[in-house]
Every structure is written in C-alpha cells, then in structure tokens.
Amino acid sequence: MDDVILKVEGITKTFPGVKALDNVSFDIRPGEVHALVGENGAGKSTLMKALAGLHKPDSGQIVYQGAPTEVTGPLDARQKGILLIHQELSLSPELSVAENIYLGAWPTNRFGVLKKRELRRNASKALEALGCGFGPDVRVGTLSVAMQQMVEIARAEAFSANVVIFDEPTASLTDTEKDQLFHTIRGLKARGVGIVYISHKMDEIFDITDRITVLRDGQVQGTVDTADTDLNQVTRMMIGRTLDTFFVKAKAEFGEEVLRVEELSKSGLFQDVSFSVREGEVLGLYGLVGAGRSEVVETVFGVRRADGGKIFWKGGDIALPTPRQSIDMGMALVPESRKEQGLVLMMGGRENTSLPHLSLFSELSVMNRPKELATFEKYRSALSIKTTGPDQAVSQLSGGNQQKFVLAKWLCADPKLIILDEPTRGIDVGSKSAIHELIADLAERGLAVIVISSEMPEVLGVSHRVLAMSEGAVVAEFEGDDMTEENLIDAVSHHRGEAAA
C-alpha cells in the first residue's frame, strides 16, 4: 500500500442512457506519470472528474493516502492535494494570475477582506518554482493558452498537490510549449507527485509516462508498464484492432481552381497572404499557434473583415463575403474552437448538424424533421459518434464526440471547398485515421480541401502542398519531395529569427 498515493476501487458512474464508468479500479503511485488512454467517450474525463469531486460516483470508493476519502467538490479536492487540469481550461479571464491560482480559496482576514499582499507573495513563489515568464498581476485573458495552462499548474505548487491530473494538456500547444510542459511534469514527478496524463497523442504517451491504463466503454482493459509495451498492443487494447500508421494521401488529380486569395491583409493579424486551391487538392497550412492561420481562413469565410486584398471563387471576385454567402457558394469552415465557434452546446446533434443549412432542411421555412434525423443517423454511424440520441445535448458528449458533430454539420451539405482548422484536435487514434481517410476521400471526390494543423506529420501526411505561415505572413511553400519536417521547421523558425533580428 505504501507505494500508492491514490486508489480508485470499483467506481461506477451512470448518466441517463450511458454507463460512463463500469466498476473501474486504478491506482496512482507517487512519482509516476500514469497514462489514461481510450477512445472518445471511453470515460477518461469522467473518471478524473470523479477524482476531482466534479462527479459523484454511483458506487465504489476513492482511497487517498491510505484512507477512504470522499471528495465533495473541486475546491475540496484541491485542498486535499488533488488537482485536475481540465481538457478545456477553466480560468477567469478577467482576474489576475494570482487571483486565478487561488480561485475560490483566497486568503482573507477576519472581516472577509482579501489579503492582497499575501496572495501576491504566495502566487509569485508558485510561479517562480515553475519558472514562468510572467508575474502574478497579469490579467489571465491576455495570456496565451500555454501560459494559462501554467497558471493552472501553478496551483499544484500553491496547494502542494500530491496528485495532478492532466486532461489532454497539449491539444493546443506548440512543440516548444509542449517541451516546456514536459519539463514541468518531470519536475513535479521528481518531487514525488503522482501524475495522471490523458492524451490521444501516442508519441507523448510513450515519451513521458511510466504506466498506461486503457479504458474502453467505461471498463478498464488493463494496466501495463510503458517500457514493456508498444503502440500496437496499446491500440489493440483501445480499439480492438491495430492501425496503419502511414497516411493515405488523395490521388493528385486536380481540376479547376476553386479559391484564390490575393494579398489578403488585416492589420495586426496577417499581411499580404496569397494562395489558391484546386478541385481535388489538399492544401496544408502549417504554422505555430498564433501564426495567423485561423484568422486568414475566418476572413476568407467571412466572419472577419479584411482591410485589403481579393478573394476569387471559381475565378469570380467575391469581395467581402458574408458567412451565409460563403456557405451557399459551397464553402465550409470547421472552426478551431468547438465550444465557442463550433456548436450550440445545449442543442442536440440533430439540430447542430442542420444549423448551417436550415434552408436545405426545410420546406417553406418549416423544418423537415425526418430529413434532419436521417442526416443525423448517417453521420452518427459514418463517424461512429457516441451519443444516446439525436436530441442529447452535445454539452453532455465527450470532447472528441463533440468534435465529430462539428465535422458532421459541415460535411452534410456537400461543400465544394472545406476548410478544416485543427480537425483532429482531441480525437482518438482510431477516429483520427478515419478522418485522415475522409480527407483523402473528399479530395478524390473533387472537393478542394484546406487543412490547418499544428501537427507536422498530419499536415505533411494529408496535404499535396503545404504553406508555412509565421507571424501573419506566408513564408514558404513546399510541394512534392520538398515537403519534409526539416524544411517546415526551418521555414517557420528561420523567419522568426529574421523577424527578431
């Protein structure tokens, strides 16, 4: 028992219509990084939310530091030393870093007045211990995603956490930021903190973890030592089969030009961006987070307004389209952030899927429900989406299954051009390769495809041509044999170096 800091014994958790966790047992040792893997909706986040007091399990117990413990809420968990770093970050953008670190547990004097100086001092200490490059007074809303994550991790220092849980922490980090995070995790580990690491990125799992527990449909498939296993075994445990690791690229047979962008500019965001994409072609947009890729495609789609430049659709000038016009022409944009831009969370999958195409799903303004249901069912099975029914609010779905509905809503109207902004973020390995196949399939059916991705193997694997973007400008274009990781890294870092000099 000595070498186990936290133990989960036979936890079951049922939501209406789903058994999210089924008699799950699992333990965490001090100083280890324990991976939790499984398909979208396998129950990973639910299990961790149970540990952090966000869900009350139906049965089973948590043994923490040798004693059965009930965690009553997130704050209680934090004060006991169990810290969950969410899949979707959960900070208050309007508050300062220090206030966020101690959110809900601010030191106050007898009269309930905030002890500002103490708050600042403790927060500074935690930030320094992590080597953060920012101070306690910065407003959190102004920080990058990676920095915000550091603020959450600083809570581990501030509350001297014994267990820290990372739920898909690298989903929106750049490679450098990821390295920094791993450095931090190794630091925590050396201090004897027990760490749970949830991710769909297998290379990370094999890089940083000591043991791997696989969940499938709410049940533990087994726990293995990372050193004694390999990708194939883990994949087989996760999805019951192994996967080809190579990418399927669409045949390079291109038709007419669909979209051409000339010298598109928006001050402060991007300058003089030009590119074009043809029928049947997959164009990759690579760049670090913050390079301006999303802003460019949002402008093309019409949710942002450009200051200058031209957009041509099938050869015709379509200056400043609205999203409605873009959609009606046959453009689709799978946006970067599924919760803010992608979905109406309280609607079900059926209503979310038809939302961009109401006129296609209605006659004389009356919604055609059977047609909506048919489309819903088609994509539910095509993308193997786990949901209890067409009207289950998508807020109740796992992160990856939400992402699949964002894809469904844009695929269902047969677009001519589909722009995918980080399409596989948070998606499990099985579905990920399914989406890569889907991209190839779409291109072979004659669609023009633009893929934005921060994952180099992905962008190189699926694209016929790749543009490298850095700081709002297209800095290089690669085709054929020039499409290599070295060239891409070189292009974006060289430009950065130049800009700094």
Partner 1 sequence: MGQTINGVLRRHGLILAFLVFLGGVALNADAFLTPGNILDVLRQVSITGMMALGVTFVVLTGRLDLSVGSLLTLLTVIVVDQHNIAGPFPAIVMTLLVGVAVGAFNGLLVGFVGLNALIVTLAMLSFLQGLVLFYSGGSNVNVANAQETWFGVFGRGDFLGLPVPVILFLVGAVIAGLVLQFTTFGRRVYGVGGNETASIFSGIDARWTVFWTYVVSGFTTGVAAVIMGSRVMGAQNTIGQGYELTVLAGVILGGTSLLGGSGSIWRTVIGISMLGFIQNGLLLLGFPYYVQWLVTWAVIIIAVWIDLGAKRGRIFA
Ligand X SMILES: Nc1ncnc2c1ncn2[C@@H]1O[C@H](COP(=O)(O)OP(=O)(O)OP(=O)(O)O)[C@@H](O)[C@H]1O
**Residue ranges in contact with ligand X by CB under 6 A:** 15, 18, 20, 38, 40-46, 87, 386, 396-401, 428
Question: How is residue 78 written in tokens?
Answer: 């934090």
Half-sphere exposure for 27 (CA within 13 Å, toward CB) = 13
Q: Provide, rounded to whole angstroms, the least separation between the CB of residue 400 and ligand X.
A: 3
495 binds, among partner 1, ligand X, Mg ion, none (CB under 5 to 8 A by kind): none
d(CA 308, CA 229): 54
Least Å from the CB of residue 55 to ligand X: 8
In the complex, the smallest distance separating the C-beta of residue 260 from ligand X, rounded to whole angstroms, is 37
Query: Taking CB under 8 A as the rule, does residue 245 contact partner 1?
Result: no
Which CB atom, from 125 or from 324, has the smaller least distance to partner 1? Answer: 324
Binding partner selected for residue 377 from Mg ion, partner 1, ligand X, none, CB under the kind-specific 5 to 8 Å limit: none
Task: Enter the DSSP assignment of 348.
Answer: B
- Residue 173 or 466 with smaller CB distance to ligand X: 173
Contact flags string 361-380 toward partner 1, x per CB under 8 A: -x--xxx-x-----------
Residues 6+ apart with CB under 8 A from 168: 87, 198, 199, 200, 399, 426
Q: Tell me the closest approach of the beta carbon of residue 418 to partner 1, in angstroms.
A: 14
Please provide the DSSP assignment of 420-434 as one string: EESTTTT--HHHHHH
The H or E element spanning position 262 is strand 257-266
User: For partner 1, what does the binding mask look like between residues 4 and 33, x meaning CB under 8 A?
Assistant: ------------x-----------------
Give min distance, CB of 56 to partner 1, in A.
Answer: 9
Distances 138 to 92, 101, 149, 424, 484 between C-alpha atoms, Å: 12, 12, 14, 32, 39
| DSSP annotation string for 33-58 | EEEEE-STTSSHHHHHHHHTTSS--S
- Residue 229 contacts which entry, ligand X, partner 1, Mg ion, none (Cβ below 5-8 A, type-dependent): none
Q: Number of residues interacting with partner 1: please give it, by CB under 8 A.
A: 35
Nearer to partner 1, 64 or 410 (CB): 410
- Is 342 among the residues that bind partner 1 (CB under 8 A)? yes
* Minimum CB–partner distance for residue 399 and Mg ion (Å): 5
Q: What is the radius of gyration, based on Cα positions, of the chain? A: 24
Assess 327 for contact with partner 1 (CB under 8 A).
yes
Q: Does residue number 46 form part of the binding site for partner 1 (CB under 8 A)?
A: no
Region for 36 from its dihedrals, namely left if φ exceeds 0, alpha if ψ lies in -120 to 50, beta otherwise = beta
**CA distance linking residue 396 with residue 7, whole number of Å:** 26
Provide, rounded to whole angstroms, the least separation between the CB of residue 423 and partner 1.
Answer: 15
Q: Pinpoint the alpha helices (H) of 131-256.
A: 145-158, 175-190, 202-208, 231-239
Please enumerate in sequence order all residues whose Cβ is within 8 A of that of 496, keeping only pairs 6 or more positions apart, or say none.
470, 471
What is the three-class DSSP state of 237? helix
Binding segment (CB under 8 A) for partner 1, from list 108-116, 146-154, 194-202, 321-329: 321-329
What is the rounded distance in angstroms from the CA atom of residue 158 to the CA atom of residue 374?
52
Nearer of residues 252 and 344 to partner 1, judged by Cβ = 344
Q: Which of 137, 307, 340, 441 binds partner 1 (CB under 8 A)?
A: 340
Binding site for partner 1 (CB under 8 A): 16, 303, 322-324, 326-328, 333, 335, 340-348, 351, 354-356, 358-359, 362, 365-367, 369, 391-393, 396, 409
